[in-house]
């Protein structure tokens, strides 16, 4: 069968989709990037915001409207929160809950009576991520979360924490490296809680991956700040562990952080950032911020804005508060009106753009190994990322083949829109 796969939302959803892709191919099926050619469509949905729900439903409806003959399978947080409603959506043949995601290929094969013909599977690597234009692989190491931040619907959708054994993670990364992948990202819902059900820790996982694999570059997905022990920073002494971390802040006001049920005050967050920057050269920290959480008056907003400005981040992911049914925040009073949220979001976007430019400016003159991920600007430049996750572009030279190579680049200038470093290959 020809299978078309679509994911929305977080990096964990991407990691799951990559895993299903490999499993379907092992059963002899083929992937297609053309929706109309598919016999089976799999949509991995998201529900973190109302907009994510809208996009998930749109993806489902598009799949049915553009290819009504294909079987449609839906999984992910949107599908898991309301499976009955999802099952009634036009064209949906099967709903797989988050709890059954690891068995999706098995369940789909049984329920939709797909024939497994592994003897027809392609040779190893032919349908790897590289063949689909991807140089960075996301590896799911755990699922679920023990905490209950008042705004978060993912805890309801994902359930209890479940960790993958270290040996299983190592095996997947070694397989990806054998296929030519140069960089992997460990991801999960609550990645800092890795191993709580196995008698292990995230630190031990990282140590074992670095010891038992030769993957040139290893990154982490988002990690909650309260999950990082003081000795964590010593892991970055290994140059294969990339000096970038996404630490979700959500708000720079302690009052709002309490209402969110976050476990880290802004002073503790500031100490963590200062510690990382003192110990690791050119360490890049990015973050999430929710704008317009219930109770965020002008004093709280100004406090949050000032803390973000003082801390400085390489990039901001900005979300306007979206009440999610089933969460405590959805019932909270003191709602912030849409126009105020819009103005605050714009103000924060402008600050974020300036902080990004400042971060790029601080790295000018440095020479970094850059993983080239492909051509851009009509083939005029090669683009990739530094170890500390700064985007870099270098001019193309006729006949050069830098795709998926790690090359030394000196960073010389910043492009006009302030998002990319322009460099010269050494």
Q: What is the DSSP string of 164-222?
A: --HHHHHHHHHHHHHTT--EEEEE-SSGGGTTTTTT--HHHHHHHHHHH---SEEEE--
Tokens 């005029």, located at residue:
380
User: Could you identify the residue written with the tokens 């069968």?
Assistant: 1
Closest CA to 78 of 142, 27, 7: 7
Residue 12's nearest CA partner among 76, 56, 95 is: 76
pLDDT at 131: 57
Question: How distant, in Å, are the alpha carbons of 31, 194, 196, 280, 338 from that of 163?
Answer: 28, 6, 8, 28, 39
CATH of domain 367-425: 2.40.50.140
Strand pairing category for 284-291 and 315-320: parallel
User: Looking at residue 123, what is its pLDDT?
Assistant: 46
What pLDDT is recorded for position 135?
Answer: 76
With residue 23 as reference, give the H or E element that holds it.
Answer: helix 11-26
**Residues 409 and 394: beta-carbon distance below 8 Å:** yes
pTM of the predicted structure, to 2 decimals: 0.89
Give the largest CA-CA distance in the chain: 65
Asked if residues 143 and 189 have their Cβ atoms less than 8 Å apart, the reply is: yes
132-242 belongs to CATH 3.30.750.210? yes
* CB-based contact 206:217 (threshold 8 Å): no
Q: Give the architecture (CATH level 2) of 2-120.
A: 3-Layer(aba) Sandwich (3.40)
For residues 79 and 86, give the distance between their C-alpha atoms in angstroms, rounded to a whole number: 6
Two domains, one topology: 2-120 and 367-425: no
Q: How far apart, in Å, do the first and last CA atoms of the chain sit? A: 46
Encode pLDDT of 364-404 as tens digits: 999 999 999 988 888 889 999 999 999 999 999 877 889 89
The pLDDT assigned to 230 comes to 85
- What's the CA gap between 122 and 15, in Å, rounded? 21
**Of 382, 378, 420, the residue nearest 402 (C-alpha):** 382
Domain residue spans of the chain: 2-120, 132-242, 367-425
Full pLDDT tens readout for the chain, 426 residues: 899 999 998 888 888 988 899 899 888 899 998 999 999 999 999 988 889 999 999 999 999 999 999 999 999 998 888 888 888 877 889 999 888 988 999 999 999 988 766 655 554 444 456 655 677 899 999 999 999 899 999 888 888 899 999 999 999 999 999 989 999 999 999 999 999 999 999 999 999 999 999 999 999 999 999 999 988 999 999 999 999 999 999 999 999 999 999 999 999 999 999 999 999 999 999 999 999 999 999 999 999 999 999 999 999 999 999 999 899 999 999 999 999 999 999 999 999 999 999 999 999 999 999 999 988 888 889 999 999 999 999 999 877 889 899 999 999 999 999 999 999 999
pLDDT at 11: 86
Per-residue confidence (pLDDT) for residue 124, from 0 to 100: 47
């Amino acid at each position: 069968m020809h299978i078309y796969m679509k994911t929305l939302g977080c990096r964990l959803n991407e990691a799951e989709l990559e895993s299903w892709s490999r499993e379907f191919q092992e059963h002899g099926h083929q992937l297609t990037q053309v929706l109309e050619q598919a016999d089976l469509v799999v949509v991995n949905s998201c529900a973190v915001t109302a907009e994510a729900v809208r996009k998930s439903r749109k993806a489902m409806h598009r799949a049915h409207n553009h290819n009504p003959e294909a079987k449609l399978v839906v999984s992910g947080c949107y599908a898991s929160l309301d499976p009955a409603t999802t099952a009634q959506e036009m064209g949906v043949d099967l709903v797989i809950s988050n709890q059954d995601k690891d068995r999706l290929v098995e369940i789909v094969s049984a329920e939709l009576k797909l024939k497994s013909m592994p003897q027809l599977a392609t040779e190893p690597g032919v349908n790897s991520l590289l063949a689909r234009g991807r140089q960075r692989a996301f590896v799911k190491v755990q699922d679920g979360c023990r905490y209950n931040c008042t705004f978060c619907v993912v805890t309801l959708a994902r359930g209890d924490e479940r960790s993958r054994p270290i040996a299983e993670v190592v095996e997947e990364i070694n397989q990806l490296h054998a296929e030519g992948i140069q960089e992997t990202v460990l991801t999960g819902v609550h990645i800092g809680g890795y191993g709580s059900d196995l008698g292990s820790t995230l630190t031990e996982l990282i140590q074992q991956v670095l010891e038992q694999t030769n993957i040139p570059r290893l990154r982490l997905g988002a990690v909650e700040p309260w999950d990082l022990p003081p000795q964590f920073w010593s892991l970055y002494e290994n140059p294969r562990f990339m000096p970038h971390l996404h630490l979700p802040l959500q708000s720079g006001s302690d009052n709002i952080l309490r209402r969110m049920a976050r476990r880290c005050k802004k002073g503790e967050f500031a100490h963590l950032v200062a510690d990382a920057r003192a110990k690791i050269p050119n360490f890049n920290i990015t973050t999430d911020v929710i704008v317009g959480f219930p109770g965020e008056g002008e004093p709280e907003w100004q406090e949050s804005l000032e803390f973000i400005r003082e801390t400085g981040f390489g990039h901001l992911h900005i979300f306007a508060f979206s009440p999610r049914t089933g969460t405590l925040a959805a019932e909270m009073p003191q709602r912030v009106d849409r126009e105020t949220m819009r103005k605050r979001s714009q103000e924060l976007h402008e600050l974020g753009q300036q902080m990004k430019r400042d971060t790029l400016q601080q790295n000018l003159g440095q020479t970094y190994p850059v993983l080239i991920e492909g051509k851009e600007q009509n083939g005029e430049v090669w683009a990739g990322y530094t170890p500390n996750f700064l985007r870099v572009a270098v001019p193309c030279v006729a006949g050069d083949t830098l795709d998926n190579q790690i090359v030394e680049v000196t960073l010389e200038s910043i492009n006009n829109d302030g998002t990319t470093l322009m460099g010269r290959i050494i």
